[in-house]
Structure 1
Amino acid sequence: MAFFAGLGENKGQIEENIDLVFDKVHTNVGDAYDKQTRRVTIPFSGLYHFTVVIAAQGGQKAAAMLMNNGTMVETIWAESIPLWATSSNTAILNLTSGDQVWLVLLKRAPYIHGYMYSSFSGYSLFDTENEENEAPQDDDKINGKSLVRKNCKKFAFKSKVRYTKRTLIFFLLCKTKRRFIQMMQ
């Protein structure tokens, strides 16, 4: 799962907090980003990476909250005084199949700049539902040689296309994999 969407037009004054609609969808692998509701529905349980970029119109404030099933995860705030400002934030979330993630525009700071200066993107890091994707343990050895070093490359390329970002992270975590897996349990 991977998606990238941007805001086509500027937003202005609003009466209440509203779901933020990113109308320019450039990437939507796996169709997790719903083009009608503008919410991401998680297709499989796993670890996910989300990035939000908010640009405020000149001399204004813009803010959005990243939501997970109705609970605020983080707030992204940009205040363009005197000219322009952009703010971004990243979240790595352990989600379950069917969970929803979306953005809410805040009424106290609604002047978000469109024209692709503001965007919402995300992708799956790895699937926790599928056991075949478990990494080899440091203590798994054949003839006294660690399978982790030997199989890092083999394991990463064995993964399916939806794990492209996961393979990069797996390479980066090969040496510290055991601590990472313990932290995720």
Structure 2
Amino acid sequence: MLLTTFLCVIATGVYGQGLDPEISQNLLSLIAEERNLRLRLETEADKLEKEIDALTVARQNATCGCPSIYTTPIAFTATLGHNINTLGSEQPIIFDEVTLNIGNAYDVRHGVFTAPFAGVFEFTTAVLNRPGYQTELELVKNGVAMTKVVSGDNGYYTMGTNAVALALIKGDEVWVRHPAASDSNLINGESTTSFTGYFVGV
């Protein structure tokens, strides 16, 4: 700007009385050219700034700069602290001893995990049974059985376990229940029968 003003002053003859008309015209042309170049540079600078912003967003997405909800850890582990001797048909198992509940997605009051956002989650359930009994449990999603675990043997305590990965949307519910058909209506607690789940990714 200072250079332009200086050239304008010279070209208009304020400080250069009797300046050659051709030189004056050349100076005015240079001023106009400098002004056009400055406008073009400002336009290009604006375009470059927008491109940098777009590249920054693309880089964040490519390096899992995903929404903050997806970086929130979700994990829980709960065990059954007591024996159950009278399991009913499709009775939910309420794992009442919570040792981990990051994100508070597991509700100890009902034994239900509720997905706080969409993504893939992995769940594991394990059941211990007494000698001479066999028990089956189901891990269900919104009331539909996704996988089953069976435990039982004539002469020994036995542990059955199973795991499943589920694609959930926000609000989906997952829990463990006793199915309608099972050889016995009891399971062993004492912190041995468990329900675990955690967020895997999007």
Which TM bucket (shorter chain)?
0.5 to 0.7
Structure-to-structure mapping, 1:2-81, within 5 angstroms: 2-81=75-154
Counterparts of 1:97 and 1:48, CA distance in 2: 12
**Does the 8 Å CA contact 1:53/1:88 hold for their aligned counterparts?**
yes
1:100 deviation in Å? 0.2
> Aligned-pair RMSD on alpha carbons?
1.3
Whether the 8 Å CA contact 1:65–1:75 is kept in 2: the answer is: yes
Per mean C-alpha deviation after superposition, the further-off stretch among 75-84 and 95-104 is 75-84
Give the conservation status (yes or no) of the 8 Å contact 1:44–1:98.
yes
Report if aligned partners of 2:88, 2:178 keep a CA contact under 8 Å in 1. Answer: no
Relative to its length, the structure with more helix (as a share) is 2
* Partner of residue 92, structure 1: 165
1:110 is paired with a residue whose SS is coil
Separation (CA, whole Å) in 2 of partners of 1:94 and 1:47: 4
What whole-Å deviation, never above 9, does each CA across 1:132-156 have from its counterpart, x for those lacking one? xxxxxxxxxxxxxxxxxxxxxxxxx
How far 1:42 sits from its partner (Å)? Answer: 0.3
Give a deviation string over 1:90-143, Cα, whole Å, max 9, x none. 1011111110000102352322111111100010011x3xxxxxxxxxxxxxxx
Letter in 2 for 1:97: K
TM-score, scaled relative to structure 1: 0.65
> For the residues of structure 1 that align with 2:188 and 2:199, how far apart are their CA atoms?
27
Q: Deviations over 1:32-64 (max 9, x none)?
A: 001211100001100111111111122211221
| In 2: Cα distance, 1:15 partner to 1:6 partner | 19
* Rounded Cα–Cα distance in structure 1 between residues aligned with 2:88 and 2:167: 33
Aligned length: 127
C-alpha change, 1:125 and 1:79, in structure 2 (3 Å) is same
Deviation beyond 6 Å, 4+ runs, structure 1: none
Quick one: structure 1 residues 69 and 15, their matched pair in 2 at CA, closer, same or farther if it must change by over 3 Å?
Answer: closer
The corresponding residue for 2:187 is 112
2:200 to 108, 121, 125: 125
5+ long unaligned stretches in structure 1: 129-185
Q: CA deviation at 1:80?
A: 2.6
Greater strand percent: which structure? 1
**8 Å contact 1:63–1:110 — kept in the other structure?**
no
Query: Residue 17 of structure 1 contacts residue 106 of structure 1 at CA under 8 Å; is this kept in 2?
Result: yes
Identity of aligned residues (%): 29
Computing the radius of gyration from Cα coordinates, the structure with the larger value is 2
CA distance in 1, matches of 2:123, 2:163: 6
Distance 1:15 1:30 in 2: 31
Residue 158 of structure 1 corresponds to: none
| Unaligned segments of structure 2, at least 5 residues | 1-73
